[in-house]
A and B are shown apart, each in its own frame.
Chain A
Amino acid sequence: MATETLTLGKALNTGLRRALENDPKVVIMGEDVGKLGGVFRITDGLQKDFGDQRVIDTPLAESGIIGTAVGLAIRGYRPVCEIQFDGFVYPAYDQIVSQVAKMHYRSQGKVRIPMVIRIPYGGGIGAVEHHSESPEAYFAHTAGLKVVTCANPQDAYVMIQQAIASDDPIVFLEPKRRYWEKGPVDTEAPLAEAYPLHSARVARAGTDATVLAYGPMVRTALDAATAAAEDGRELEVVDLRTLSPLDLTAAYESVKRTGRCVVVHEAPGNLGLGSEIAARITEECFYSLESPVLRVTGFDTPYPASRVEEEYLPDLDRVLDAVDRTFGW
């Protein structure tokens, strides 16, 4: 086993490199993905090594990126599209929800769009507007799209390759504020034996309450669990990883043991993933629950100016506060 210590960003870069090596039909396309290596350097060095036919700097038009990727997919390619920031995916929204998502259905299974749409998402980096959003619910709400998100370098490395290998169109959400976090990555384990893409995973075992999180909030939830442990409370943290389809098997099992559940995400609470998750947990674990499922989310406002984003974003205190409330019910 060859374990390297990589940042989450470098793990994605390494995973993309693998995908390009393994399948000549894989092409990367997006704004500034070539010489610049993307504004976050996730495609750093790839154009140099694979050429500008495989790592394509596109004109500045998101609808064009996704629309042409549909055509490439029909032609047999496996496009991996980079959207520069979450807030810039919307010009492509029509192509994604009306075209990408429905091709397989409309063609009665004859057309596959094995496309990956990579989107750095979420806040916490002090950015100006449109650079900190969490659009996952828009995509998870759309039948025909799958939505996944990674929370650590190992998953980043594996999941990006699994997403590219999958014949489903997949929105691949990258927690941009965690790009620089380091962790061990096994770069040699065979992909076929890897943990399945559309499965959640327990990130920390615990007995007193269950915290469900994904993407950038997994780190926050784990920090909350560490803090709670100092106060003698053991939180179980589940990293959901797949947002559509949701995999709540581990969550159900956990909540049936703990009786308490808090869902955390950065996106606004109203009709966010947390709503669906809370409903399902309630249906599945009703007789085990000691309190309602609580949500810790961004507020139902536009993403605010960066000087107040700390207060907007769920943090350790807000997670612990919610956990406390499940005990006070």
Chain B
Amino acid sequence: MTFIGMPRGTGNLTGAPFPEAASEALDNAQLRRNLAKATGTIRAKRAAVVDELPDWAALRAAGAAIKDDVLANLDTYLLRFEAALTERGSTVHWARDAEEATRIVTELVTATGAREVIKVKSMATAEIGLNEALAAAGVAAVETDLAELIVQLGHDRPSHILVPAIHRNRAEIREIFAEGMGATDLTDDPRVLAEAARAHLRRKFLTVDVAVSGANFAIAETGGLVVVESEGNGRMCLTLPRTLISVVGIEKIIPAWQDLEVFLQLLPRSSTGERMNPYTSVWTGPTEGQTSHVVLVDNGRTATLADPDGRAALRCIRCSACLNSCPVYERTGGHAYGSTYPGPIGAVLSPQLTGIDRNPTLPYASSLCGVCYDVCPVAIDIPSMLVHLRGRAPKPRAEAAAMRAAAWAMSDHRRWRRLLRAGRLGRALGRRPMLPPPLSAWTRARDLPEPPRQTFRDWWDTR
């Protein structure tokens, strides 16, 4: 159900058709090695810290229930959040879509006269294409998350929610840093690379006066925003500059402070495989001498909320466990999904936000193996949602005709048995026939089973 006027998601949410983009990525052996290694390590860490919690199932159910309550009462919670935050001295802005959100932020930044902003790692700003919009206005956005910095200096795109440079290995990172920072004395040692990034960023922290952040959670009761991170660079951005602009998807709401108890257990264990992440920053309105703006972004979320089969996607806390566990993601990497949100959740969320017509291939980018549902800390049944989305996806004509014919045969046993008997004639084709597309996709890499002399049912009748 979509109501007239409900904004659809715009910005960085679409790309080339998945099958073609995936084929290209699959040809990159280095990428596959990097991904297999990185996701394998993080999967093992996650499994260890999740298995040690006796009440994981209860925590997961609680996380899902809290988010479902938020989604059912989102209007109330958002207004409560706005009122609390306004009272604490922040200015709240509302943005329908990517264009409106980037325009608001760009105007706020240019009003300060700044030519540079420092950024806390944020999915929402990537989704709306903020860096590109700021660049067009002559403002440089500097990413301060180490992996985001690698992506930015490499003129690359993020390929993972949590580790945007997961497709890069150390040697590649050294080259990117050498080029991007003009550093000549680097080695592949992670400590050396981290030190180079630290020196580079320290200069920015001390000179840039505007920061842009996202938020992992927005607390309706208090107006508080929460950023969960590993490096502490986000905290530098949140505290040093005099202007802080936070871009927050409207589904990031949690009702109250105490709900963090649940999510701060679910999130780090699911994302980095840690019991607790090193830095959790919570701020409620501006600190003394600071100006704070919060931009609440819809960009297709209300439309997603209106869809009973799709709204659970808004529970997502962007932990990336589903990406790390997905056998498709592990082989294709994140770029193949063409959206800020890759992996299983991206295959659901991107078409939900943009509408299926702008993302028709993503719902099929899954073997429906179900491992994403198993690991999701807020129990999003991604496979079932993919199946629902497939129901709405535009279908190739020949496929639709074949499926209609098959359904006609399969809904009556006499027709079906006649078809199967005819199929035995396929014996003449042998095991490696040249089949027309799309069936040729099967025989490129696999032999066909030889059709038997007799179907099971014909055998049964002779017994």
Q: Do A and B come from one complex?
A: no
